[in-house]
């Protein structure tokens, strides 16, 4: 028998007024897989992430995570079930330190939570130390430990993206959603990001990746879903997607070079 999917998206639709941002989109993600969602600007990729992570509620359709229906549940509840995400437009607390930003991501797992932590109640101190330690380990993992004490707002964009990943990891997710993690990164940073993504997968994490950098996508993803104007137009392994006539047509006039990854593999 085939392994049950970790995430199952079934016939999900959402309209903003008259604009159909997503229409009857269905796909599944196997445990331990890296699946990429691609598509031209406005295709509905970020909207799909908002639906999975509880930031938006679908008009129709079901989203099942580990056997539980999660569509329409609030974001904090979805997070506590084990889904973490990063944002296309980085969302950090600029005035908090790099370490504190990660500690915020950790707090969902603790008894004390943010309020009593802020009040420095004595019985939370040991917990606070454990959170700090764990958050620091997440920073070490993404290579930001040396920046721990700096205000997050001072980081260049490439490092902010890594910090968002560290914050997401601090909640010990089962499924990680990355929305354009390579956007604004130079080539060396993008290559390191690719290694990081593969390391996470090797550690057992399941990843959904929205990305415009096709070389990175083709390198790390086993499966690709293609959205265009809110509809799923293709799904399959990278090599099949690169040759798919409808995908090529959808990208006509954009700067996507469909053969980029093939060259890099050679």
Give 88 or 116: the residue with its C-beta nearer to Mg ion: 88
Is there binding between residue 47 and ligand ATP (CB under 6 A)?
Answer: yes
Is there binding between residue 43 and ligand ATP (CB under 6 A)?
Answer: yes
- The set of residues, in sequence order, having a beta carbon less than 8 Å from that of 199 and lying 6+ positions away, is none
Among ligand ATP, Mg ion, none, what binds residue 19 when CB lies within 5 to 8 Å by partner kind?
A: ligand ATP
Give 43 or 170: the residue with its C-beta nearer to ligand ATP: 43
DSSP states of 32-91 = T-EEEEE-STTSSHHHHHHHHTTSS--SEEEEEETTEE-TT--HHHHHHHTEEE--SS--
Is there binding between residue 42 and ligand ATP (CB under 6 A)?
Answer: yes
H helix runs in 107-186, sequence order: 113-119, 125-142, 157-170
Among ligand ATP, Mg ion, none, what binds residue 93 when CB lies within 5 to 8 Å by partner kind?
A: none
Choose among 62, 37, 66, 152: nearest CA to 103. Answer: 152
Q: Which stretch binds ligand ATP (CB under 6 A): 13-21, 103-111, 115-123, 150-158?
A: 13-21
Give 88 or 110: the residue with its C-beta nearer to Mg ion: 88
Is there binding between residue 171 and Mg ion (CB under 5 A)?
Answer: no
Q: Which of 11, 16, 129, 140 binds ligand ATP (CB under 6 A)?
A: 16
Cα 221 to Cα 143, 159, 186, 198, 266, distances in angstroms: 23, 23, 20, 9, 17
Is there binding between residue 53 and ligand ATP (CB under 6 A)?
Answer: no
The token duo for 172 is 């010990």
Least distance to Mg ion, CB of residue 122, Å: 45
Q: Which of 21, 38, 46, 176 binds Mg ion (CB under 5 A)?
A: 46
Choose among 155, 126, 128: nearest CA to 142. Answer: 155
Subset of residues 77 to 106 that bind Mg ion, contact rule: CB under 5 A: 88
Q: How many residues bind ligand ATP (CB under 6 A)?
A: 12
Residues that bind ligand ATP (CB under 6 A): 16, 19, 21, 39, 41-47, 88
Residues that bind Mg ion (CB under 5 A): 45-46, 88
């Amino acid at each position: 028998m085939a392994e049950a999917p970790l995430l199952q998206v079934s016939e999900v639709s959402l309209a903003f007024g008259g604009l159909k941002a997503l229409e009857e989109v269905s796909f599944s993600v196997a445990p331990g897989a890296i699946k990429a969602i691609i598509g031209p600007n406005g295709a509905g990729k970020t909207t799909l992430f908002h639906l999975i992570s509880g930031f938006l509620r679908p008009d129709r359709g079901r989203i099942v995570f580990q056997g539980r229906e999660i569509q329409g549940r609030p974001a904090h509840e979805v997070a506590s079930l084990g889904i973490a995400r990063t944002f296309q437009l980085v969302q950090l607390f600029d005035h908090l330190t790099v370490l504190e930003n990660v500690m915020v991501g950790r707090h969902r797992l603790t008894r004390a939570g943010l309020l009593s932590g802020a009040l420095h109640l004595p019985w939370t101190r040991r917990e606070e130390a454990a959170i700090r330690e764990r958050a620091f380990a997440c920073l070490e993992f993404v290579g930001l430990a040396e920046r721990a004490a700096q205000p997050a707002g001072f980081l260049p964009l490439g490092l902010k993206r890594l910090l968002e990943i560290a914050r997401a990891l601090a909640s010990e997710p089962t499924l990680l959603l990355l929305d354009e993690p390579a956007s604004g990164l130079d080539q060396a940073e993008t290559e390191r990001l690719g290694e990081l993504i593969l390391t996470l997968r090797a550690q057992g994490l399941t990843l959904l990746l929205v990305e415009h950098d096709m070389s990175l996508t083709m390198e790390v993803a086993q499966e690709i879903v293609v959205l265009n104007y809110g509809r799923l137009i293709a799904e399959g392994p990278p090599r099949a997607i690169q040759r798919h006539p409808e995908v090529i047509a959808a990208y006509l006039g954009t700067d996507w070079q469909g053969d980029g990854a093939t060259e890099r593999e050679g």
